[in-house]
């Protein structure tokens, strides 16, 4: 289990290294075949699909690592940021909806009444769902679930849908797409920037302990 900020940062770095290596190699191939239109068309189609795959894969993996780290702190629910209590409640509501037993409702009621001072048990396995279609709407939902600052993505939401998700969907459905080399290179650079931005937001959230509810009592307890 990921128990320290350093372990989290290392895990996320490992996720990024191999993805960046693959994308960098693919970028070089696109430039290499610039003068061979038939090969270039096929290569760019595959490259766009892989760009999207690494964007979705990185968001899902790094988000899961972050939730695992927060879960490992076992902070009392009272000290957790509301979004992580929300993840816990969503899990409990799912359990309740899958059961017809009154005892399930009783357990949920007990959680509401007595759980705030207990050590938290935040679910972290298979919590993040990109829906195999990481549109701007899904991304914003993940950002909210993690309690991240979404302002860095505000100006990129339209780009994500129009320039990354939609072309990938067309390719996945066997439809034609015609990107020039320069358009692809720009897309590559923008996706790398998106991945780096998401990485920075998670690392900042962990270092600054944004997963913890900020209260006056907590601030006094943490003061030297």
Query: How confident is the prediction along the chain (224 residues), in pLDDT tens digits per residue?
Result: 999 999 999 999 999 999 999 999 999 999 999 989 889 999 999 999 999 999 999 999 999 999 999 999 999 999 999 999 989 888 777 766 666 666 667 777 777 777 888 899 999 998 999 998 999 999 999 999 999 999 999 999 999 999 999 999 999 888 888 899 999 999 999 999 999 999 999 999 999 999 999 764 554 444 54
Q: Is residue 221 part of a domain?
A: no
Q: Which of 85, 120, 155 is the last residue of a domain?
A: 120
Could you tell me which residues come within 8 angstroms of residue 219 by beta carbon, excluding any fewer than 6 positions away?
none
Cα–Cα distance for residue pair 72/122, rounded to 1 Å = 8
Q: How far is CA 104 from CA 57, 86, 112, 120, in A?
A: 34, 18, 13, 19
Three-state SS at 80: strand
Cα atoms in the Cβ-side hemisphere of radius 13 Å centred on 124 = 20
pTM assigned to the model: 0.88
Query: Is residue 159 in some structural domain?
Result: yes
The answer on 67 and 30 residing in a single domain is yes
Asked which of 60, 85, 120 is the last residue of a domain, the reply is 120
Per the structure block, which two tokens stand in for 42?
Answer: 């096929």
Number of domains composing the chain: 2
Same domain? For 111 and 127 the reply is no
The whole-angstrom distance between residue 117's C-alpha and the CA centroid of its chain comes to: 29
Give 122's DSSP letter. Answer: -
Q: Out of 120, 137, 153, pick the residue that ends a domain.
A: 120
Name every residue whose Cβ is closer than 8 Å to that of residue 80 and which is 6 or more positions away in sequence.
Answer: 70, 120, 122, 211, 212, 213
């Amino acid at each position: 289990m990921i128990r320290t900020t350093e372990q989290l940062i290392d895990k996320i770095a490992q996720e990024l290294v191999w993805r960046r290596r693959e994308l960098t190699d693919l970028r070089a191939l696109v430039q290499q075949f610039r003068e061979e239109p038939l090969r270039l068309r096929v290569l760019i189609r595959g490259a766009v699909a892989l760009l999207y795959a690494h964007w979705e894969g990185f968001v899902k993996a790094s988000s899961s690592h972050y939730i695992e780290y927060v879960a490992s702190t076992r902070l009392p629910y009272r000290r957790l940021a509301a979004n992580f209590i929300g993840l816990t409640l969503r899990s409990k509501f799912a359990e309740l909806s899958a059961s017809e037993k009154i005892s399930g409702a009783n357990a949920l009621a007990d959680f509401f009444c007595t759980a705030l001072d207990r050590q938290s048990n935040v679910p972290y396995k298979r919590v993040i769902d990109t829906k195999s279609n990481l549109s701007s709407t899904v991304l914003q939902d993940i950002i909210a679930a993690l309690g991240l600052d979404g302002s860095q993505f505000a100006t990129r939401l339209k780009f994500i849908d129009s320039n990354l998700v939609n072309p990938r969907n067309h390719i996945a459905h066997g439809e034609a797409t015609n990107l020039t080399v320069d358009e692809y290179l720009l897309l590559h650079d923008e996706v790398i920037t998106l991945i780096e931005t998401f990485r920075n937001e998670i690392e900042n959230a962990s270092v600054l302990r944004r997963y913890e509810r900020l209260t006056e009592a907590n601030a006094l307890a943490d003061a030297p």
